[in-house]
Amino acid sequence: MNPSRTAVVGAFTALYVLWGSTYLGSKFAMASFPPALLSGIRFIIGGLAMAAVLFATRRLHISDFARLRWWRNCTVAGALLFAMANVLVSSGVQRIPSGIAALIVAITSVWIVTLDRIITRAGAPSWTIILGMACGLGGVAVLGAPGWGGTGSELDFIGVLLAAGSTLAWASGTMVAKHSERPPSIAAASVMQMLGGGAVALLLSSFIEHDRWPAWEAVTPGSLWAIAYLVVFGSLIGFTAYTWLLSNVSAAAVATYAYVNPMVALCLGALLAGESIPARTALAAPLILGSVALMQFVRPPSKDEMPIEEE
């Protein structure tokens, strides 16, 4: 049975707007917490909170977590999504404006569509996919290239590289989540991915950034509020919407969040954090967003892109 249009619109709204705001939220939270520790705290709290609510409302049962292979697959997906992609982009946000990081992350959709075609054996990539990949990577290259046009165009190369690396990790995690065996309950899969990925992130943090863990008295109220926002709106609501959409619409449709998130992040970064937008963004943004447009609107629709049923 196809999902109702109302449900799909609501899920996309959450995905577009809430995820667009998490880049700035992460930047505020990292005033006190290093990236991997932040990711671990955020997603373990998010996973436990989601499980508690769903168990209390009897929408989740112990049997939903019964198989070890479900835990294995969801942990692998969660590790790629949270212990790799989220940590990489959070590290990048420490070095470049949050809106620029969100713009770079837009190329995730290029990887999602490409990897989905490979996994489903949809054949050789079309010219639109090849051109889309070239445009997306070209846009990232423009952002990360040596400075030109004065100091207003300067961007930290490592920050750009970290944000770009997160896109392949997120797309890989998305494919594991979409194509591996997992529990029939979408909510159970979300909980497993958050808990598994959060645990891997904490383990990673204990090895690479333990000396940067803050003393409690050094944690600012702003960082705590930012973590609360990330848990509720980024993890509980946003990630649940993302997982639900992956199971109910095509991967290409889900990938369209890459259009809106950068615009939300750029606006919020400028308004709330005083972030400047480098001049080179005027060239990079059309290349990156144009690559997503090529993937979504020019290429022939795949066979799994079925029309959405009216409620």
Structure tokens at 265: 């992040």
Of the listed ranges 28-32, 53-57, 142-146, 187-191, the least confidently predicted one is 142-146
Mean pLDDT along residues 271-286: 85
- What pLDDT was estimated at residue 247? 78
Of the listed ranges 7-21, 170-184, 214-228, 245-259, the least confidently predicted one is 245-259
Question: What confidence tens digit (pLDDT) does each residue in 23-47 have?
Answer: 999 999 999 999 999 999 999 999 9
- What pLDDT was estimated at residue 309? 34
Q: Which residue has the higher pLDDT, 1 or 61?
A: 61
Mean pLDDT along residues 251-265: 75
Structure tokens at 244: 């639900």
Structure tokens at 169: 């990790």
Average pLDDT score over the chain: 84
Question: What confidence tens digit (pLDDT) does each residue in 98-151 have?
Answer: 988 988 988 887 788 788 888 887 666 677 778 888 888 888 888 877 765 444
The identity of residue 32, as a single letter, is S
- What pLDDT was estimated at residue 28? 93
